[in-house]
Chain A
Amino acid sequence: AQSVTQPDIHITVSEGASLELRCNYSYGATPYLFWYVQSPGQGLQLLLKYFSGDTLVQGIKGFEAEFKRSQSSFNLRKPSVHWSDAAEYFCAVGGGATNKLIFGTGTLLAVQP
């Protein structure tokens, strides 16, 4: 079955600290992988995506993610977190003709001053 797991429901980091949000997926074919961010009461904004090629992808707002096929993971990282990064982050997997996205349950990021 296709699924996405985000093990961390809630993470708190200090401003300026590094960040890593975990994402594991289960998908039968070669996956398309996405990270989206959602601010309170807002829609989702695409941070980055992986389709093929270089397994380290760069996104907006200084985020990057690394696709590791052997670990079925696509973790999101940022070297130095800013207070404005506080939001909820969703990992998603999709692909195929239907292009349906399957979302993880999200990780809520809090940033301490």
Chain B
Amino acid sequence: GAVVSQHPSWVICKSGTSVKIECRSLDFQATTMFWYRQFPKQSLMLMATSNEGSKATYEQGVEKDKFLINHASLTLSTLTVTSAHPEDSSFYICSARVPLGSTETQYFGPGTRLLVL
């Protein structure tokens, strides 16, 4: 149980285009999902908390207009990197929180590698 998927697993795009990354909880409903960014040989940095039915909460320094998050349903959150630039190239990982009432644990997706040319 507690499987999280991401799509696509990797994407290459041209500078200036937008890229959408999907995060799905496959066997449970997640009212809260998290988006992380990981640079090579570095740890995960939380970008934002995605709440179903409400606006995402962004961490300090993360541009809301650049990284659009939509949590449209209890099993799907999307991250759209708008007007992507080479410095946005990174590994993006989402996680989904197991619902309240059980132990508070985040389960992670396999990640999406973005390369902006």
Q: How far is the CA of A106 from the CA of B44 in the complex (A)?
A: 9
A105 near B42: Cβ-Cβ < 8 Å? yes
- Footprint of A on B, CB under 8 Å? 4, 6, 32, 34, 42-44, 46, 49, 93, 95, 97, 103-111, 113
Cβ distance A88 to chain B, nearest Cβ, rounded Å:
9
- Cβ contact of B103, chosen from A51, A105, A106, cutoff 8 A: A51
Q: Is the interface of B mostly helix, strand, loop or mixed?
A: strand
- Closest partner residue, chain B, to A91 (CB atom): B43
Q: How far is the CA of A45 from the CA of B78 in the complex (A)?
A: 21
B6 near A43: Cβ-Cβ < 8 Å? yes
- Cβ contact of A46, chosen from B32, B104, B105, cutoff 8 A: B105
> What A residues does B43 contact at CB under 8 A?
90, 103-106
- Cβ contact of B49, chosen from A49, A95, A100, A105, cutoff 8 A: A100
Chain A contact patch, size range:
20 to 34
- Cβ contact of B105, chosen from A41, A42, A49, A90, cutoff 8 A: A49
- Cβ contact of A99, chosen from B97, B108, B109, cutoff 8 A: B97
- Cβ contact of A43, chosen from B42, B97, B105, B108, cutoff 8 A: B108
A99/B44 contact (C-beta < 8 A), A41-B111, A43-B111 known: no
